Each structure stands twice: as C-alpha cells, then as structure tokens.
Amino acid sequence: MGTVIQEVFRYRFHVLRWQLVQVEVVDFPKPWLLFHLMVGLSLGYMAFAFFRKWLGWGRGIGEAASGPRDYKRSSMVWLIEVFVQRQLFAFSFPRWLIHILIFYGFLGLALLPVAAIVLRAGGYLAVSNTLPHHYLHPEGYFFVKIWGDSFGLLLLIGLASASIRRTLLPEVRQTSNQLDVVLLGLLLSVTLSGFFLEGLRLASLPAEIVRYSYVGSLFSPPGTHTLEQLRPWLTACWTFHALLVAILITYLPHSKLRHSLLAPIVIGLNAAEEYKREDLYWPDMKKYSETRSPQD
Amino acid sequence: MARYEKILGNKIAAGLTRRQLIEVNACARCGECRMWCPVYAQDEREEITARGKLDSLRRFVDGALTESGRKDFINALYECSACGQCHVVCPVRINTHELWEQARLSLVNAGIPQPAGQVKQLAAIKEFDNPLGKPRNERSRWAQAAWEAGLLKSPVPLWRERPAPVIYFAGCMASYEPALQPIAVQSARLLQEAGVDFAILGEDEPCCMSKLRRMGDPAFPREAQKRADQFTRMGVDTIVVSCAGCYKGLYSDYARFWPRPQKVVHFSQYLDRLVQEGRIHLKRRTPLVVTYHDPCHLGRHNQVYDQPRRVLRSVPGVELVEMPRHRAFSSCCGMGGGLKTVSPEIQHKMAEARVREANSTGAEAIVTPCQTCYLGLINGVKEAGSSGMKIFHLNELLMRSLCPDIAHESVANALARTAP
C-alpha cells in the first residue's frame, strides 16, 4: 500500500501534445467488500423498484401506438424540451439556470466513463480496463480530472443555488415539503463528499498533478500532509461517499428524482401527440413574458 | 385493510392508460402548476394542485393511500374545473386534464361515485337529453319565439323538414336557459345576415354528452357513438357549434368515435370566416374598450385563440386590450369540469378573480364566445360587487354593430313576452 507509479498519456500543454508520463496513484485501504455490497444492493434494489413500477404500469389500459406524423418536428420538440428546457427558460431564467446546471452536471458526470472509453479507444488513455479503473483507482490524470471537476462544479453551483432559493424565497419555501429538503440535502452531501474525497487525495500530491483538479484542490485540507497521515481519513471519506451514493441510488425510485428518468419519456409521448401546438411547444417568447403568473 | 387498499388501487390503475400511470410517477414536484392553478388561488390546499393530485393518485394506485387521503383526493379531483392550465405550464408535459377525467371514470368504475350534485345532473342529462331536465319538444322554442317576435329575417328551418349543408347546433343551455337563449337567436340572425343556408335540428338535436366525459360517466362512449352515427347518417357538411363545451365534445372527445371531426366548427371560427369573406358587413361604430376571455375548451383545449380576436377587431370602434393572463394562460372562470355543481362558491370566486383581472386592464367589458363562460362571468361580476364590468357574448358586439335592435337585452325581453 502506498504511492504507485503508473504510466498514462497526458496532454502536456507546454509542448501541446500527448506524452506518455508517469503519475502517482494515491492508494489507501478501501473496504471493497462493503463497497460491492452497498453498490450491488442499491443498484439491484433500484432495478427491482423500477421493475415493480413497470409491472404496475402494465395494469393500465394499453393504447395502440400511433406515432407522430412528423418525426422530425416531434424529435426537435423533444430535444428542445429535454436538453434546452425551453419551458423553464420561458418562465424563469434563474430557475432554468439552476435546473440546467444540475441537469448538465449530472449528465456530464454520468458521461465521464463513456468519454473515457472513447478516449481509450483513441489511444489517449493508456490504462487497461478503463471503466472500472477510473472508478476504483482514480489516478487524477488530466482528462478525467478536468471533466469531472467541471461537471461536478456545475452540479455543486446548481444544488447550492437551489438550496439558497428554497431557503430564502418564501414562495418557494412554502411549496417545499420535507422530502424535497431531504433529497436536496442528499444530493448536496453526495457532491460535497465527492469533492472532499478528491481534496484529501490531492493533499499529498505535487502541485503539477493537483492543478488539473482545479475544484477538488480547493477542498484539500490546509498545510502539508503525508499519505500516512491522510490514509484513515481517505478511507473514511471514500466509504462515506460510497454510502451516500448507495443511499441515493436506493432512494431514487421513491423520490421525485425519478423524473430524471421518466420526464423524458412523458415529454416524448406528449411531443409525439402535440408537436403541432404552437401555444405549447413553439410559443412566441414575447407572449410568454406577457402572460406571467399573478404570483410572479 | 392493506389488502383492500391494494385491490382498490389495482381497480383504479386498470381504469387509467399505461401512459397515464407513467405520468403519475413522472411529476418533478416543481410546483409550477400550483402557481397557475385558478382553483388553488381561491382555496389554498396542496391536494387541489396538479402536484398534490398526482402524488395522491400515485399512492392510490400503489395501494398506499390512507382512507383520509383517499377522501381528500376524491374531493380535490372533483374540485377541479379540468381547465388544463397545469398541462400548459408543466415542464414534464403531463396531460393533466385528460388524466383527471380518466381518473374520475376509473373511480366510478371502481365503485366510487361522483359527488351527489354531479350524479343528479348526469341522471338528468341521460333521462332528458339535457342537463336542465327540460322536455325535448321545448328545445327549439327559442327559434319559433324569435320568429314570432320579429327578431329573425325568416323562420329557422328544421333539418328534418328542409336539410341544409350547415347545421346550427345551439346546445342545451342556449336552447333552454332563458338567460342564454338570446345567444342562440343572435347566432341564427347572424347566419341569416350572412346568407348562410342553415337549419337547426330542433327536437332531434341531441345533448353532446360531453359532461358525461368531464364527470367520468362510463356511458359516454356509448352515447357519443350514437350521436356520431346520427351525424354520419345525416350526411351534414358542417356543424356550427355555439357552446365551447359542445365544441370540445363534438370536435375532440368524439374524435375516436367519429373520424370526421373537421366538420365541426365553433361559431366564432365560422363568424371569422364569414367576416373574412365579406359576408358580414359591420358598419356601425360601437365605441368600447373590451378584453377577451379565452374559454378553456376553446383555447387551451383546442387552440382556437386568433379567430375570435379577429372577429372582435373587425367590429368598428371596438378596442381590444389583453388581460395579464390570456391565450394559453387564460385564467379559468370555473364553469368547466363539473366544478360549479360541486362547489359553486369556488366558481364564483374564480369568476370574481377573472373580473378583477379584467378591471385592471381598464376594459369596460369582457367578451367571450362561450355561453357557459358568459354565465360564469356574470356570477363573477355579482361577486365583485360594484366593479362596473359588463359581460358580453361575442355575438352581442356584432349585433350591436349590425342590427342594434337584436341586442341581448331586447331579445331576452321579447322572448320573455312570448314565453308560455
């Protein structure tokens, strides 16, 4: 157990090209059995819960799928509603910004392993078996760090803004219930514990490596620390972060967060049916801004 | 108990479509519906909002809703005008008003009836073919009385005596309700002024039965099919519908039973066509600042926004100002979805709020092309007290410009004089 030297490709800015370099991997004891148990059980439970929901939906009346008459337009409607979230934008820019930060923060982090696979296929990541390797042995190499920190930052700003908005604005506070607060707290805890874990890991690394983790490094404890000093904290933080993720995965099918999976389906179904409605999908922004809610 | 709840939940789920069961789970709890709901604005209970109802319905179909929760949900489900505002503002695009109507049907099929007032009204509709419980042979009395009172250029022909390419479908309320009969008379007169070859169905005019769909009566598909078959047999070219509720019924709700909904037009759409074609010449100035109230069944549910406004603008002297909430965001007056039967006081408050909104524009009158909204907004004016706001049906402004002697009040008086 200790610092492991590993060879990876890294883009060197000063020479503007990819070079094979050696990086130090911060290794510390991890309760793998507990990890696999927690993640395996939570993922299995989430799959089971959605499977039960799927069975439950099967109780309903089946409708013949007619499909949209204009696939191009209904697809455009779907893309704009899901990825641009025009509806939210039309109603409230701050709300749209907060939601888009959380949405793209999550999406970016979820796509990180996909991007890593693509880069490995292109020969840019010289680590074998990239997907599990990234998760189980975070080396801190440049691409993963910049990507992860950037999208993590979007997520963090979005969640922090949502928390502030929910706390400070009376009309938003009134519409919140305890479950909304619990979910927001859980998401913030997952994000923050991830950054704290990264900060701890970076605390024993040289500045040349750390600079790519431009957000995580802000969470490093002040002063200089040896890996020996940090190791118990790293193990605790790693375990805590994994536990929070497992809780989030378990809670997802029972929380409003399930809209992240179901909303695109519902929007798609509606877009296939009502894509022609100009009052719904291609509204004149001026008309929208003129017709505000009395509560606005 | 838990077993009973599961069984009941399964029954409710079996009455919803699979898509609706997904929608029930997809709510993001953003609360946008809460901000816009016109019922919630008058009765601030979370369970009334679309978000609250979706949450309860999800737990209901999962067999996890307590008895008191069920009572609250059922009350909230019927204390809703199904105006569709929540669908328009929902970022997830949950088709809420369809869901509420289907949920009502599903509850009835599971043995949970509608509130007593609705049950009574539905029984009257099915027995008398109109919600007022009036005899069938009085349905076209307005036309006869109007001709006798000299309000029409010629007698309105009955379709069974002289078939015509266009049928004027007055609807139950304008046929029977004295306060609304002038609207039917004015409609007939406008069609005569434009030289339209039309007829009415008289005793053969059926109730559209759309209230059955709104309130979740299982007889709706059967009754709608009968009426669709009747229209198909008649081979009519165009049905001009006076009532926004009947229009939604015939145009939207019948679509799955009657593959020719394009033959149904609302009177305001037909008027627009007549004005555009120059068949109605509006010459006399009617100086008036008006605001337009979009009926939910016409606007949000069927996207008829521009034609009635064009008609209004064509009346010389009329200045149209918009309310803060208009078109797809128009605030419901509370007359739809059977809400008034369940909670008249909420309807009155909703209409009052709408009247106050209109007052804020500086308009002298609210104009609407829907006879039901017309009645509802009159309740709002009474509720608002000394607002000074006038409520006009769209026909009224045209008649004031075209033939002022056929104005609403004089028609109502003339009809009252001829009443048996």
Give the number of other CB atoms < 10 A from CB of residue A29.
Answer: 12
Bridge pairing between strands B166-169 and A17-26: unpaired
Question: Who has greater pLDDT, A128 or B222?
Answer: B222
d(CA B175, CA B179) in angstroms, rounded, equals: 10
Q: Are B33 and B51 in contact (CB under 8 A)?
A: yes
Phi, psi dihedrals of residue B300, rounded to the nearest 5°: -55, -40
Q: How many domains does chain B have?
A: 3
Residues of chain A with Cβ-Cβ distance to B62 below 8 Å are: 56
The pLDDT assigned to B184 comes to 95
> B68 in a domain, yes or no?
yes
A170 CB within 8 Å of a chain B CB: no
> Do B13 and A59 make contact, defined as CB atoms within 8 angstroms?
yes
Please name which of B206, B75, B45, B207 lies closest in space to residue B131, comparing C-alpha atoms.
B207
Residues B294 and B372 in one domain: yes
The pair of structure tokens assigned to B3 is 């077993």
B169 and B93, same domain (yes or no): no
Q: Does B41 touch chain A (CB under 8 A)?
A: yes
Chain B hits for A180, Cβ within 8 Å: 29
Residues B136 and B255 in one domain: yes
Nearest to A259 among B16, B28, B32 (CB): B28
Query: Is A175 close to B34, i.e. CB distance below 8 A?
Result: yes
CB A68, CB A272: distance < 8 Å: yes
A129: tokens are 């078996």
Q: Where residue B99 sits, what CATH number does that domain have?
A: 1.10.1060
For residue B124, being part of any structural domain is answered with: no
Mutation target to probe the A interface, by most A beta carbons within 10 A, among B35, B60, B88, B300 is B35
Nearest to B81 by CA among B211, B269, B204: B211
B264 with B302, same domain: the answer is no
pLDDT at A6 over 60: no
User: Residue B171 belongs to a domain with what CATH number?
Assistant: 3.40.50
Q: Tell me the mean pLDDT per 10 residues along chain B, length 420.
A: 81 95 94 92 93 96 92 96 94 95 96 94 94 91 92 93 93 94 95 95 93 95 92 88 94 84 87 95 92 96 94 95 92 94 95 94 95 94 85 94 89 82
Better-predicted residue by pLDDT, A296 or B393: B393
Q: Which residue has the tokens 């130090």?
A: A24
Categorize the per-residue pLDDT at A27 as very low, low, confident or very high, splitting at 50, 70 and 90: confident
Domain check: are B108 and B136 in the same one?
Answer: no
Distance from CA of B218 to the nearest CA of A (A): 15
Contacts of B49 in chain A (CB under 8 A): none
Residue A7 predicted with pLDDT over 70: no
Q: A6 φ, ψ to 5°?
A: -135, 145
**Same structural domain, B387 and B294:** yes
**CB-based contact (8 Å) between A67 and chain B?**
no
Considering only the beta carbons, identify the residue of A57, A172, A279 that sits closest to B21. Answer: A57
Phi-psi region of A120 (alpha: psi -120 to 50; beta: other; left: phi over 0): alpha
Whether the predicted pLDDT of A295 surpasses 80: no
Distance CA B142, CA B121 (A): 23
Residue A259: list chain B partners with CB under 8 A. 26-29, 92
- pTM score of the predicted model: 0.89
Nearest-neighbour CA in chain A from B400: distance (Å): 30
Q: Are residues B226 and B297 in the same domain?
A: no
B352 and B385, same domain (yes or no): yes
- Whether B294 and B262 map to the same domain: the answer is no
What does the alpha-carbon distance between residue B355 and residue B102 come to, in Å, rounded to a whole number? 31
Higher pLDDT, A27 or A149: A149
Is the Cβ of A208 closer than 8 Å to some Cβ of chain B? no
When mean pLDDT is compared across A48-57, A94-103, B52-61, B404-413, the lowest value belongs to B404-413
Residues of the domain holding B235: 131-273+412-418
Q: Measuring CA to CA, which residue among B243, B411, B154 is closest to residue B419?
A: B411
Rounded CA separation A189/A217 (Å): 18
User: Residue B291 half-sphere exposure, CB side, CA atoms within 13 Å?
Assistant: 24
- Calculate the alpha carbon distances from B270 to B152, B264, B273 in Å: 19, 10, 5
Cα–Cα distance, A193 to A204 (Å, whole number): 18
Q: How far apart are CA B78 and CA B338, in angstroms?
A: 7
Helix (H) / strand (E) element for B101: namely helix B96-109
* Across A54-72, average pLDDT: 83
CB-based contact, B360 to chain A, within 8 Å: no
Which residue did the predictor score with more confidence, B366 or A18?
B366
Query: Per residue in A277-294, pLDDT tens?
Result: 888 886 655 555 555 544
Taking alpha carbons only, the member of B119, B113, B114, B83 closest to residue B98 is B83
User: Domain A3-50+69-283 belongs to what architecture?
Assistant: Up-down Bundle (1.20)
Paired tokens of B308: 């009635």
B13, B29, B35: residue with CB nearest A256: B29
Q: What is the DSSP letter of B200?
A: B
3-state secondary structure of A4: strand
CA distances from A255 to A92, A105, A249, B175, B336 (A): 24, 19, 10, 51, 33
Nearest CA in chain A to B49: A175
- Is residue B118, in this structure, part of any structural domain at all? no
Q: Is B32 on the interface with A (CB under 8 A)?
A: yes
Pair B268, B316 in one domain: no
φ, ψ at B81 (rounded to 5°):
-90, 5
Taking contacts as CB-CB distances below 8 angstroms, the residues of chain A near B61 are 56, 59
Domain membership flag for residue B121: no
Is B324 an interface residue toward A (CB < 8 Å)? yes
As a whole number, the mean pLDDT across chain A is 81
Q: What CATH number did the domain enclosing B368 receive?
A: 3.40.50.11810
Residue A241 and residue A87 in contact, taking contact as beta carbons nearer than 8 Å: no
B250 shares a domain with B293:
no
Say if CB B295 and CB B243 are below 8 A apart: no
DSSP reduced 3-state for B167 = strand
Answer yes or no: is B162 within a domain: yes
Residue B90 Ramachandran class (φ > 0 left, ψ -120 to 50 alpha, else beta): beta
Does B337 lie in the same domain as B362?
yes
Question: Where is A155: in which H helix or E strand?
Answer: helix A142-168
Asked if A269 has any chain B CB less than 8 Å from its own CB, the reply is: yes
Put simply, whether B293 touches A (Cβ < 8 Å) is no
| Confidence at A128, pLDDT banded by 50, 70, 90 | very low
B64 in contact with A, Cβ within 8 Å: no
Cβ separation of A87 and B91 shorter than 8 Å?
Answer: yes
At A6, is the secondary structure helix, strand, or coil? strand
3 state SS of B166: strand
CB-count burial class (<10 Å; 0-12, 13-18, 19+) for B405: exposed
CB atoms within 10 A of CB A141: 24
Interface test with A, best of B37, B92, B97 (most A CBs within 10 A): B92
Q: How confident is the model at residue A179 (pLDDT cuts 50, 70, 90)?
A: confident
Contacts of A282 in chain B (CB under 8 A): none
